[in-house]
Structure formats: C-alpha cells, structure tokens
Amino acid sequence: MDKLIVKFIEEASEHIQIIEQNMLLLEKDPENTGYIEIIFRSMHTLKGAGSMFGFENISEITHDLENVYDEIRAQKRTLSRELFDITLSAVDHIKELIKFGNKIPEEIANNQVFLVQRIRAMISENVHEKNKLFISGESEPKEEALKNAGTYYISFKPFDNIFDNGTNPLYLIDELVNLGSSIVIPYLNNVPDITTIDPFVCYTYWEIFLATESDISIIHDVFLFVEDLCTLDIHKISDNNLLKEKKFVRKIDKLRHTGHDIGINEVQILANEFKDSVSQKVKKAMNSTYAQVSKDYSISSIRVSSEKLDQLMNLVSELVTTQARLNLYAQQNNSNELTTITETTQKLSRQLRDLTFEIALVPIDTLVTRFQRLVRDLSKELGKDVIFETQGTETELDKTIIENLTDPLMHIIRNCLDHGIESSKTRQELGKPEYGKIIMNAFHSSTNVHIEIIDDGAGLNNEKIRRKAINHGLITEDTVLSERQLHDLIFQPGFSTAEIVTDVSGRGVGMDVVKQKIAGIRGQISVESEKNKGTKITLIIPLTLSIIDGLLVKVENTNYIIPLSAIEKIYAIQHQQLKKSFNNQIVLDGKRIPYFSLRHEFQCSEMNADGIEQVILIEYEKQKVGLVVDLVIGEYQAVLKPIGKHYKDQEIISAATILGDGTVALVMDTSKIITHFNAHFLKSEVKI
C-alpha cells in the first residue's frame, strides 16, 4: 500500500505541475480551450486518485474546482482573475496536503476550509449569470457543443390533410433544425402536375438527419400535435455525430438522388459502416487537439525511477571503460577475428552510451513553470508589472544538471525582478514600456548549452558596485577597472548591491554562490549590462557530466584528453619550427596563430630539436589558438571521474579518466587552459 501511495504522490505531483503549467499558459491565452480541457482532466484524475488513496481533502477541493472548470468548459462561465488566484492557491494547498499526508497541521486544515468556502462562494455567485447565458445561448446551439451528439434519422410523411388544422410542416422542421445540425431532404416526387394540384393537400414528405445532444423524446415532442396526422419514424442511428463525417454526407447525397426516400433500413446499414471509423476518428481528433496544446502530453512513455537511470548510466560508464581495455587487448593480439568483434562491440557500446545519455536528458521546460510562477507571484508582491518570456526551452540537459540549475536560475531571476526591473513609475519616467520584461533564452552551441537571462531593467549600477567593492576591500580607490571587470565583481563573495535588503533578494546568498554552483557542474557564468537598458546573464553549461568524446594526446609521459568538441584541426610541425617562431605565434595555413606549448607550460623537459610535435587548433572566444602536444594517439571515449578535492585549484584539469591499460589520463578544460596561460603570458611580458 505504501508503494501505491508513493506512486500516487508521484503522479499527483505531476498533475499539479500540469495544472500549474496550463494555468499560466491559459492566463496568457484565455481563448485557448485546450488548456481548460487539460486542467479539467488533471483535476478530475487528482480527485479520483485522491479519494482512492484517502486524501479526502484533496478530492474535496478538486471536486469543487472541477465543477467550476466544467462550467467553463461548457462555456457557462467565463475565466476571471479571481479564479486564477484561487486555483493557484488551491494548487499550492494541494502540494502541502501531499507533503503532510495524514498529519496535517491545523494551519493548513484551516486553509482548506477557507479555500473551499472561496470556491463555493464563487460557484454560487455566478448562478444568475449562468442562467442569463443559458437564455441567450438557447437559440443557436454551437457546432462545437455537439461533441456528445447522437445522430437520428427521422422520416416525416404528413398525411394529405395535415393543413386542415393549420399546421405548417415547415415550422416543425425549423424546430428540429434548431436542435442541432441537420440534413433535411424534401421529396417532391408525389407532387402532381400543376393543373391537377390541390393547394389544400400536402404532397411533400421529408427525411431528416439530425445530430443533436437532445434526447429522442424531445424530437418526439416536436411532432406532438401532428402525431395523428402523419407517419413518423424516428430512429437513433448512431451515438456519434455522423454529420461531421464527410463520407457519410456524400453517401446520403448520392442516395437522395435516386428519387425515392432512403428508408430506415438503408440508413441503418450506412450508419453501422461508420460506427467504428467514427469512434476512432473522434479519439484521434481529441488526441491531436491535446497534442497541439502540449506536445508531450500523449507521447507513450513509461515511468522509470531516476535511481535506475543512474544505475544504467554507471553501467554504461563501466562498459565504456571495459571497452577501452578490450580495444587495447585487440590491438596487442593481432587477430582478425578479435579485431572485428572488438569493432562491433565498440560500435554497440557507443550507441548504447548515446542512447543512455539521451534518456537522461530533460528539457529545460520542466523548470519554466516554476520560474513563471515565481515571476508572477513576486512581481505582484513587489508591485512591478513583469512579463516572463522563454525561448528554446525544449533544449535538453542532463537531469542532474537541471537539478543543479534550479537554484542558481531562481536566484538570478529573483535578482532581475528585485534589482533589475524598475517600478512602473520609474519606467514611465524613463520612457520605457510599462511592463518590464525578463527573457530566458536557451540554445545549443557545440557541446554546451547556453542559457541567457535577459531583463530590460536598470542595468548594473557601476558607481554602486565600485563603492561597495571599495568598502569590502576588494579594490582600492585608485584601481582602474574596465566595465567588464567591474561587472565581474558581483561574483565576489558577500556582494549584494541592493541598498534595502528586501525579502526577495539580498538574503546573504549572492551571485558568488550562483557562480560556485554553476562551476560545480563545470559551467561558466558571465554578465553583460548597460545602464537603463538592462542586464544579460549568460550561463554556459556542458551537456553531460559523465562521458565525453575526446582526443587522447601525450605530453612527455602523461596522457591527456582534449574534448573533441573543442578541436578544429590538427597539424604536425617540427620542433625546430616552433623554436624559431616569434612572439608565441606560428603560421598555419597562411594564418598567424598564437600557440602554447604544453611541454613548456607544464614545466616538462624540452623536446629533441629534431622531434615532431603536433599542434591542436582550438577555437577560443571566436579566436583560434594552438596547443602543442607531443603526439596525438587517437579518439577516445572518456568516462569522466572527479580528480578529487585535493586538486580543486588545478582549474585547467576538469576531470580524469582511466585508460584501457589502467593508467589515468587527465581531461583538459581547454578554455580554462587558454585563459590561464594567456594571463600568465601577459604577466611575463609585462615583467620584461
């Protein structure tokens, strides 16, 4: 039973997220009924599951809310701001309920009563409005409302004397038509020649196909007063709206031109033909509308615990390591068969690896709802009008990275809201749009994902940062800093420029914590800002944390891995040539390229003068830089292993990996290497 409850909680949390997400979407696009449909469905499931697992209070609340949304769905009620607020606080409340299970604190129990009252009050408030809508809506039933319609066949053959008591059959037909959508076929084949016609006799008879939600008795009621004056035949031919089926309509059209009436037998056969196809189509149609609203709603998927996923990942990592040993062994034992097998397993393990990684990828989307909620609530609290926009949130990242990103991003967005965006009044004075804007933009770039948080607020205040930095002893009065260097100061520990510490930000955790956290997942953070234009914070995050494709190289006796994604091109070069080069630049393909000799930088012994080295060209901040190594061994799938806290200061090495022969190779962080040596190089130049 406990297991089931865990499952319920898992599922309920998912439904809550769906509701929250769609509420926020709906708020932006109130016309889209698809969102309401999804919200309604999730609420309904929540209600059912809630009472099944003894969460009576959940089902109580969702039951009332469900009613409201049912009315909205049926267009008997309109969306209101109040409803959004109530729903969202109800969602929060349900979250609490799930959290506490059976032991609900009094405070929350009170909240329950309060919420239920609010919802009920809202339901009763709208009653008269509801009635009003009913009256106005009566005259023209909408096409869309016929979702649950059945199709009826009505054969109406008035007797000759129907006119005698003043009945106009056309009025009856009008009344029928108003019940839903219909095809009315009049038959005039009994009408005699004009010379013999009797104007007091009704010659015409009708066949009517009616799709309506009304009961068959209502149709009978239409003919209540003429029942004795006609032959009337009413049959329900389908539970679905056949008139939506083009094929059905076409067939009817064909049949009517045969000159005589179709007859119930023929119709029934026809209707049966459509029975199956209709229900399938309806289902399909329903699915597709949901698919439009939320792409991944109806994708068939299974739930796997993340623990299992981690296990799978570890196994694949071990497989890749073992594969490396096998490769080495195959190389040493020159057997054709062994080589073939090794190559095949190599291919398989690579595919398996890629697939496993893909499984663990999660779209950034999963974070967005939380942020939207944050912006919505916070902007209200702060009295600022803010729009939160997202782009490229389908970009996927490893789930552990996503988990580690939540807090930093939360903090950044909070900062934007609190410090960045000005109050509406200030914005007006500055001639900016009344609504502040925060954009979250995510995209791929080589093996990294970039996430940008852009606001159009006040921008960083250079003066304030400077003053603060001086107060904190980070810089002195006469330190000259470029704007960029000045902005980078905000990542220093204990830096918060908000003059008034609000509840929102400035809780002591500053951008330095954000930076640390991002560095923890091998990411980078940078800030760009312009006064009164806004601030852009960019996070660069690696795609995965555990395995990379790398190039195995050798420097003196040590093996290194350079991430393949960073590499542009490889050149062989004579050591002599490097020795003759000027100002750490060599000419490759006719271009001057700055280079760093890793032997030199790593304080290794000098290479033989006639030796051949290899230059690996790396793109670094849109510039090409060469790294000189002794030898390129080949491509290598590196399972990244942390090198431990003892090496936390060695930024240029991001991880280690174990090679097939059991030795350890070090994984270089190329951009850090170049920044590091660049700084070093500049320093030594200044000294001269």
Partner 1 sequence: MNTNTSESSKNIIHSYLTFKLGDEFFAVSVNNVLNILEMTKITKVPQAPAYMKGVINLRGSVLPLVDTRIKFGMTETEYTSNTCILVLEIPMEKDTVKVGALVDSVQEVVELQEDTIQPPPSIGSRYKSSYIDGMAKVMDEFVMILNVASIFSGEDVINIQEVTDQIKQAAQ
Q: Which chain residues interact with partner 1 by CB under 8 A? A: 318, 321, 557-559, 601-603, 641-647, 649-650, 652-653, 656, 658, 662-666
Cβ proximity to partner 1, 349 vs 559, nearer residue = 559
Q: How far is the CB of 460 from partner 1 (least distance, A)?
A: 32
Q: What is the dihedral of CA 213, 218, 222, 224, to 10 degrees?
A: 170
Distance CA 271, CA 277 (A): 10
CB < 8 Å & 24+ apart, contacts of 581-584:
584/681
CB of 553 to partner 1, least distance (A): 13
Tokens of 326: 């096998």
| Smallest distance, partner 1 to C-beta of residue 526, A | 24
> Which secondary structure element, helix H or strand E, spans residue 450, and what is its range?
strand 448-455
**Cα–Cα dist 631/607, whole Å:** 12
**Measuring CA to CA, how many Å separate 452 from each of 348, 577, 601?**
36, 43, 34
* CA neighbor of 413 nearest in space, from 442, 448, 449, 378: 378
- Residue with tokens 């009563």, as numbered in its chain: 113
SS (H, E, C) 588-604: ECCEEEEEEEHHHHCCC
Q: Would you say 451 or 607 has its CB closer to partner 1?
A: 607
Instruction: Pick between residue 390 and residue 558 the one whose CB is nearest to partner 1.
Output: 558
Considering beta carbons, is residue 21 or 559 the nearer one to partner 1?
559
Nearest residue (CB) to partner 1, 274 versus 677: 677
The DSSP call for residue 167 is -
Sheet holding 585-588, edge to edge: 567-574, 612-620, 623-629, 591-597, 585-588
Q: How far is the CB of 558 from partner 1 (least distance, A)?
A: 6
Report in angstroms how near the CB of residue 657 gets to partner 1 at its nearest: 8
Nearest-angstrom CA–CA distance, 373 and 382:
14
Identify which of residues 521 and 652 has a Cβ nearer to partner 1 in the complex.
Answer: 652
Smaller CB distance to partner 1: residue 509 or 587?
509
Cβ-based nearer residue to partner 1, 263 or 662: 662
Of 278 and 628, the one with the shorter C-beta distance to partner 1 is 628
Q: Minimal distance in Å, beta carbon 488 to partner 1?
A: 23
Q: How far apart are CA 180 and CA 169, in angstroms?
A: 18
The DSSP 8-state label assigned to residue 507 in this structure reads S
Q: How far is the CB of 604 from partner 1 (least distance, A)?
A: 8
Identify which of residues 305 and 603 has a Cβ nearer to partner 1 in the complex: 603
The residue assigned the tokens 């769609």 is: 22
Query: Cβ 422 to partner 1, closest distance in Å?
Result: 40
Token digits for 46? 């929540």
**Rounded CA separation 241/259 (Å):** 26
Q: How far is the CB of 650 from partner 1 (least distance, A)?
A: 5
Q: Which is nearer to partner 1, 227 or 651 (CB)?
A: 651
The nearest distance, CB 599 to partner 1, in angstroms, is: 10
Is there a contact between 574 and 614 (Cβ–Cβ < 8 Å)? no
Residue with Cβ nearer partner 1 (214 or 559): 559
- Report the nearest approach of partner 1 to the CB of residue 345 (Å): 19
What's the closest the beta carbon of residue 645 comes to partner 1, in angstroms?
A: 6
Alpha carbons 655 and 399: distance in angstroms, whole number: 20
What backbone torsions phi and psi does residue 642 show, to the nearest 5 degrees? -65, 145
Which CB, 415 or 559, lies closer to partner 1? 559
Q: Count of CB atoms within 10 A of residue 89's CB?
A: 14
Going by C-alpha positions, the residue among 398, 487, 448 that lies closest to residue 619 is 448
* Helix (H) or strand (E) segment spanning residue 549: strand 547-555
**Nearer to partner 1 (CB atom), residue 311 or residue 574:** 311
Report the chain's terminal Cα–Cα distance, integer Å: 76
We find the least distance from the C-beta atom of residue 641 to partner 1, in angstroms, to be: 4
Which residue(s) pair with 184 in the sheet? 208
Q: In the complex with partner 1, which residue's Cβ is closer, 178 or 558?
A: 558
Instruction: Work out how close the CB of 596 gets to partner 1 at its nearest, in angstroms, rounded to a whole number.
Output: 12
CA dist 674 to 410, 533, 649, Å?
31, 32, 16
Cα–Cα–Cα angle for 31, 35, 37, rounded to 5 degrees: 110
Q: How far is the CB of 321 from partner 1 (least distance, A)?
A: 7
Burial 264-287 (b: 16+ CB within 10 A, else e): beebeebbeebeeebeeeeeeeee
What is the three-class DSSP state of 211? strand
Residue 171 burial by CB count (10 A; 0-12/13-18/19+): exposed, middle or buried?
exposed
Structural contact between residues 529 and 535, judged by C-beta atoms closer than 8 angstroms: yes
Of 123, 88, 90, residue with least CA distance to 108: 90
